[in-house]
Amino acid sequence: MKHPITTTHNGAEVYVNLVASLAGTTISQQPHLANLVKEVLSQTRVDKASMYIEQDMQRPIGYDAVVPTGADATDIFYAKMVHDKVYSRFIKRGKPQATNYLSIVLYRDSDGAYELTDVWIGKQRPARPGSPDETPASFTYWANHAFALEGHQVQPRTLTRTCPYENPAAVTAGTTAQSSTT
């Protein structure tokens, strides 16, 4: 279900799928984000196939739900958020931090319009491991950060304490170490 959001500074239409996207889920939980997205995009030129926008709003706009954890935090678990296919790392006792930053992810569709696929309060961060946009930086970042559980809806049957993804660099290093000891 495409729901129009706004038109960018250079006239590109932007919409969000309110039913089946991370952006739709986030906006349904925090409706004021739609107005913040409009504010940012009305001043932004979009011209690439994908756009990752980080905007300092020059005022507090809410709380960043991703918090630093350290790699050995004991209250960590993994789950898929509602309307998500990728596992996320969560911490039970994390405290979100106040921030001025808004992050927006847009992808151009075949008609030339842009779909708002994700939006969050906070600075840009690497894609989560297991997502199509993952990078080597994803594994390092998400090994030391997690979503604070408070305020997030997860798919209950996906809860696990076992990390559902492996860092390819660690796997390669492990393989190399095993090879050299045999």
**18-22, 31-35, 95-99, 166-170: least confident range:** 166-170
* pLDDT tier at 167, thresholds 50, 70, 90: low
Q: How many CA atoms lie within 13 A of 181 on its CB side?
A: 6
The pLDDT assigned to 84 comes to 83
Q: What is the mean pLDDT of residues 12-23?
A: 92
- The pLDDT tens digits of the residues spanning 90-120 come to 999 888 999 999 999 999 999 999 999 999 9
Q: Is 173's pLDDT higher than 60?
A: no
38, 66, 34: which is closest to 138 by C-alpha? 66
61 is written with which tokens?
Answer: 């706009």
Instruction: Measure the CA–CA gap between 22 and 116, rounded to whole angstroms.
Output: 9
Hey, how many other C-beta atoms are within 10 angstroms of the C-beta on 83? 17
pLDDT exceeds cutoff 50 at 179 = no
pLDDT of residue 82: 82
Looking at the DSSP bridge assignments, the partners of residue 87 are 80
With 0-12 / 13-18 / 19 or more C-beta atoms within 10 angstroms meaning exposed / middle / buried, residue 125 is: middle
Average pLDDT over residues 173-181: 37
Residue 39 has a pLDDT of 97
Most confidently modeled of 108-112, 133-137, 163-167?
Answer: 108-112
Say what the pLDDT of residue 174 is: 40
Structural contact between residues 8 and 44, judged by C-beta atoms closer than 8 angstroms: yes
Tokens standing for 57? 């709003």
The pLDDT assigned to 172 comes to 42
By DSSP bridging, strand 114-121 and strand 13-17 are parallel
Count CA atoms within 13 Å of residue 115 on its CB side. Answer: 16
Average pLDDT value over all residues in the chain:
88
* Residue predicted with more confidence, 83 or 29: 29
Distance CA 163, CA 30 (A): 29
User: What pLDDT is attached to residue 72?
Assistant: 65
